[in-house]
C-alpha cells in the first residue's frame, strides 16, 4: 500500500482523509490547526510537525486547502511541501485554485522529479463522507492511474479533462453555474415573498416542474428557514467567483451575470459574522 500524506482537514478535506485512514493506508497528516487531526490520530494516522515532514513521509501526498494563498503557503512556505517532496512521489491537489497556479505547481513538482495531479472535486461534504466525489483531473493520465488506488476510495468518477489547468477551469465553470442558480432561486423567492405569497407555493410548483434538483432539495430548505449551516461556505463560493472572473478577464470573455452575482455574494460574505453556507445569499433580499 502506498504511504499517503494529507494536508488540509477542513469541511471537505477531513471526511476525505478519514476515508483514506479507514481504508487502511498508512497516513501522515499535517493541518495548520493541529487539534483537528486528534480523532484521525486515534484512528491510526500519524501527525507531521510540518508540511515538509508530511511530504517526506509520503508516496502520494494530498492537499485540500481553502484558496490560492493557503496552497502557496503549504507548498512554498517555510518547511513547505516542496522542500520535502520525494523524487518519484505524487502530489495530488484537490483545492479549488486558479488554472495558472495549478500550472505553476506542476512545474515546481517536475523540478523536484515528482509528479503532479490537478484534482479539484465536486460532490459536497456528503459525497466526501460516502466516497462519492467526482474528481476533475488535469495533467498526465499516467499520474492519474498511479493515484487511482487511493482515489477509488474517495470518488465515484474520475474525469481526466486534459492538460494542467483543465480541471480547475471546469471546476470554476461549474461553480459559477451553481452560484447563479442559487442566486436565481433567492431572487425568485424575494419576488414571491414581496407579493405576500408563501415560499412553499413557489417551491411546490418548482418541485413538480423541475423534479428533484439539489437547489430545491438542499438549498431551498436553508433559505426558507434562514438557517445556513456551512457545507460549502459563502466565503469559498465568493473566492471561486473571483477566480472565474480573473480567468475570464485573462481570456477576454465577458461574464456579466457572474460579475453581478459576485457583488451579492461578496456583500453577504462581508456582512456575515459567522461562517455560513452560500445559500445565505438569500439574506441579501431579506434585509
Footprint of ligand NAP (CB under 6 A): 8-13, 31-33, 36, 64-67, 70, 73-74, 95-96, 121-122, 124-125, 231-232, 236
In the complex, least distance from residue 197 CB atom to ligand NAP, rounded to whole angstroms:
32
Nearer to ligand NAP, 65 or 255 (CB): 65
- How far is residue 57's CA from residue 81's CA, in Å, rounded to a whole number? 11
Read off the C-alpha cell for 185. Answer: 432561486
In the complex, least distance from residue 36 CB atom to ligand NAP, rounded to whole angstroms:
5
In the complex, least distance from residue 195 CB atom to ligand NAP, rounded to whole angstroms:
33
- Residue 245: CB atoms within 10 A of its CB come to 18
Residues serving a catalytic function are 171
Half-sphere exposure of 282 (CA within 13 A, CB side): 25
| Residue 4: closest CA among 64, 78, 83 | 64
- How far is residue 195's CA from residue 188's CA, in Å, rounded to a whole number? 11
- How far is residue 155's CA from residue 18's CA, in Å, rounded to a whole number? 13
In the complex, least distance from residue 127 CB atom to ligand NAP, rounded to whole angstroms:
8
List Cα–Cα distances, 94 to 12, 108, 129, 167, 263, in angstroms.
Answer: 10, 17, 15, 10, 27
Read off the C-alpha cell for 75. Answer: 507548498
Residue with the CB atom nearest ligand NAP in the bound state: 10
Nearer to ligand NAP, 53 or 67 (CB): 67
Nearer to ligand NAP, 112 or 235 (CB): 235
Amino acid at each position: 500500500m502506498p504511504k499517503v500524506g494529507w494536508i488540509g482537514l477542513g469541511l471537505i478535506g477531513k471526511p476525505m482523509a478519514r476515508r483514506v485512514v479507514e481504508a487502511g493506508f498508512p497516513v501522515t497528516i499535517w493541518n495548520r490547526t493541529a487539534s483537528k487531526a486528534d480523532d484521525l490520530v486515534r484512528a491510526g494516522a500519524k501527525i507531521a510537525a510540518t508540511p515538509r515532514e508530511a511530504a517526506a513521509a509520503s508516496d502520494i501526498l494530498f492537499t485540500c486547502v481553502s484558496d490560492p494563498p493557503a496552497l502557496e503557503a503549504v507548498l512554498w512556505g517555510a518547511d513547505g511541501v516542496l522542500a520535502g517532496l520525494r523524487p518519484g512521489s505524487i502530489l495530488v491537489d484537490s483545492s479549488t485554485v486558479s488554472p495558472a497556479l495549478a500550472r505553476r505547481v506542476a512545474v515546481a513538482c517536475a523540478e523536484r522529479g515528482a509528479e503532479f495531479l490537478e484534482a479539484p472535486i465536486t460532490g459536497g461534504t456528503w459525497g466526501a463522507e460516502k466516497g462519492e466525489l467526482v474528481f476533475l483531473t488535469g495533467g498526465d493520465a499516467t499520474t492519474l492511474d498511479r493515484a487511482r488506488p487511493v482515489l477509488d476510495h474517495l470518488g465515484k468518477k474520475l474525469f481526466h479533462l486534459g492538460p494542467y489547468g483543465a480541471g480547475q477551469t471546469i471546476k470554476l465553470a461549474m461553480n459559477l453555474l451553481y452560484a447563479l442558480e442559487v442566486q436565481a432561486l433567492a431572487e425568485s423567492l424575494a419576488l414571491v415573498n414581496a407579493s405576500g405569497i408563501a415560499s412553499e407555493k413557489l417551491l411546490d410548483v418548482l418541485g413538480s416542474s423541475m423534479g428533484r434538483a439539489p437547489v430545491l432539495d438542499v438549498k431551498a430548505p436553508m433559505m426558507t428557514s434562514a438557517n445556513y449551516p456551512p457545507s460549502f461556505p459563502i466565503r469559498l463560493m465568493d473566492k471561486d467567483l473571483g477566480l472565474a472572473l480573473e480567468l475570464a478577464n485573462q481570456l477576454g470573455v465577458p461574464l456579466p451575470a457572474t460579475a453581478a452575482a459576485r457583488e451579492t455574494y461578496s456583500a453577504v460574505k462581508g456582512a456575515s459574522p459567522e461562517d455560513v453556507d452560500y445559500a445565505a445569499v438569500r439574506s441579501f433580499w431579506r434585509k
